[in-house]
Amino acid sequence: MAGAKQGGGRDLTQGPIGNTLLFFALPTLASNILQSLNGSINAIWVGRFLGEQALAATANANIIMFLMFSVVFGFGMASTVMVAQAVGARDIDSARRAFGSAVGFCFILSMIVSVAGWLGSPALLHMLATPPEAFDLALVYLRVIFVAMPASLLSVMMMMGLRGAGDARTPLIFMLVSVGIDIILNPVLILGLGPIPAFGIAGSAAATAAAGFISLISLIFYAYRKDLPLRLRGSEMAYLRPAAAQMRVMLTKGLPMGLQMIVMSASGLVMIGLVNREGLLVTAAYGASQQLWTYLQMPAMAMGAAVSAMAAQNVGAGRWDRVSRITGYGLGYQCLITGTMIVLLIAFDRALLALFLGGDSSAIEVARHMQLLASWSFLFFGCTMIFFGVMRANGVVIAPLMVLIFTLFGVRLAFYHLGYPSLGADALWLSFPVGSGVSFTLAALLYLQGGWRKAKLVVPPSEEECRESMSAESEPAGRIVPAG
């Protein structure tokens, strides 16, 4: 049956493209929303119970965490594409090899980062110029978070691998588990309810750590209980030792993908610096607007990831006739969902902004003005992510990175500096649609030019791997449908 689930995964090479893509993307979108809501709720717990210094401490620590997750996101997307192409080619053994190498590499990397992060936390916070009054709290918080790093990063890597196999439902389930535990434990461990002592800010970090470990262990148990396609058994456990061929792809493709996230983050930091020059009122308005813009980005990120996995499966299956249609549906859904959210945001902007600024704040009108000028740029941003997602499905990552660097830093900053004398602060808000429009145009030209279709993301097997693959043809491990 077209699009049917296969041991927890979904065949994305068959059936109606529109419905398959939509139902594959929605769980990823829900996961993204859950993550953001979790961060917002945790910030409320910390801010309300522990005060501004503690909230500032978590903000400083979270910058470091974002950089770590950006790198792992890149490796995760590379493994997603490798797994998806192998699944599309009906080669579950290659999918497991790619998944095993990714998980094994992530474990080694996360252990190194965890130890180095614990030891280097003071230096990292000094580099960020953490305010002295928040330094001790930030150090405690960050060190506990680094202890939880292996579980957090492994969970991200495994969830992205599962999406490559066409399974977006399982990652959503365990994102719910993680978020639920984190939200419940935060006030318990911060305040010390019942027999549990109060840990303060360390309790907030410990809640996140506990949620990560419990979610990871539950995910592993579930994978074996349900016999998901990517679970490793017996001799397949050797796949956890990172193989040179897979690692070449992970590093050459994963690092540029991670850098895309870092470039976007760095651009945001530059924009905050420029906004700060406009005074406290504008900075407060921008901070509230950013909270809303975070949600406008989510359809683009979720649909881009879904399009990438679906296109990669079809590339692996040689179904190039479906890839262009996947792109079209991705663009259509992205514009529909993001466009609807923009209309709702602008229609109810005063009430939404009051959640962050208070109903009587004079910053609300400033924020409403910048919403009108900048919010619609996320339509361009989303379409750019769709084009990049499809090209990424065939291993093209350098050109998208160059486009982002050029538009986020070159175009945006040039427009700001040229327009500021006549436009004032409006040059900042208009730089969003200008930069996004240029990146969309360049991404569309790259896609239509078609050179990305000639790229190859093929890991050349060694002689030993070939022999093992031939032997596996008659064993359950070599089939797309798991044994049992």
Query: DSSP characters for 44-58?
Result: HHHHHHH-HHHHHHH
Q: What is the mean pLDDT of the chain?
A: 83
Least confident interval from 14-28, 51-65, 435-449: 51-65
pLDDT tier for residue 444 given thresholds of 50, 70 and 90: very high
Above 90 in pLDDT, residue 69?
no
For residue 461, how many C-alpha atoms fall within 13 Å in the half-sphere facing its CB? 15
- The set of residues, in sequence order, having a beta carbon less than 8 Å from that of 399 and lying 6+ positions away, is 391, 446, 452
pLDDT of 469 reads: 41
Helix (H) or strand (E) holding 426: helix 426-449
Choose among 102, 103, 76, 397: nearest CA to 246. Answer: 102
- Predicted confidence at residue 416, as pLDDT, reads 93
pLDDT confidence of residue 39: 74
- So what's the pLDDT on residue 461? 46
pTM: 0.80
How far apart CA 301 and CA 216 sit, in angstroms, is 23
Lowest mean pLDDT among 116-120, 137-141, 423-427: 137-141
pLDDT at 207 over 70: yes
234-246 tens-digit pLDDT = 999 999 998 888 8
Q: Residue for token digits 């360049």?
A: 442
- DSSP 8-state secondary structure symbol assigned to residue 167: -
* Cα 370 to Cα 77, 298, 397, distances in angstroms: 33, 20, 32
Q: What's the pLDDT tens digit per position in 445-473?
A: 999 998 888 876 654 444 444 444 434 33
Residues of the chain with pLDDT > 70, as a percent, come to 87
Which DSSP string do the residues of 254-296 spell out, in sequence order?
A: HHHHHHHHHHHHHHHHHHHHHHHTT-HHHHHHHHHHHHHHHHH
- For residues 10 and 393, the model is more confident at 393
Percent of the chain's residues with pLDDT above 90: 37
Q: Cβ distance 229 to 94 under 8 Å?
A: no
Note the pLDDT tens digit of each residue in 326-373: 999 999 999 999 999 999 999 998 888 887 777 777 888 888 999 999
Amino acid present at 152: S
**387: which 2 tokens?**
């084009």
| Average pLDDT value for residue range 420-446 | 94
| Mean pLDDT for the stretch of residues 275-292 | 81
Q: Tell me: the pLDDT tens digits for 293-310?
A: 888 888 998 899 999 999
* CA dihedral (251, 407, 262, 447) positive or negative: negative
Average pLDDT over residues 402-416: 93
Q: What's the confidence (pLDDT) of residue 59? A: 64
Distance (Å, rounded) from C-alpha 72 to C-alpha 108?
12
What is the rounded average pLDDT of the residues 114-121? 88
Cα first-last separation, the chain: 19
- Predicted local distance difference test score (pLDDT) of residue 55: 63
CA-to-CA dists, residue 456 to 253, 327, 352, 451, angstroms: 11, 19, 46, 11
pLDDT one-digit tens code per residue, 45-59: 776 667 656 666 666
Q: For residue 141, what pLDDT band results from cuts at 50, 70 and 90?
A: confident
- CA dihedral 219→220→225→227, nearest 10 degrees, is 100
Q: Is the pLDDT of residue 480 over 80?
A: no
Q: Is pLDDT above 60 for 482? A: no
User: Which H helix or E strand runs over 9?
Assistant: strand 9-10
What pLDDT, on the 0 to 100 scale, is given for residue 8?
56
Of 334, 437, 330, nearest to 380 (Cα)? 437
Residue of 356, 97, 127, 365 whose CA lies nearest to 242: 97
How confident is the model at residue 104, as a pLDDT? 93
Position 128 scores a pLDDT of: 66
Please state the domain extents for the chain.
Answer: 14-242, 255-454
CB 344 within 8 A of CB 352: no
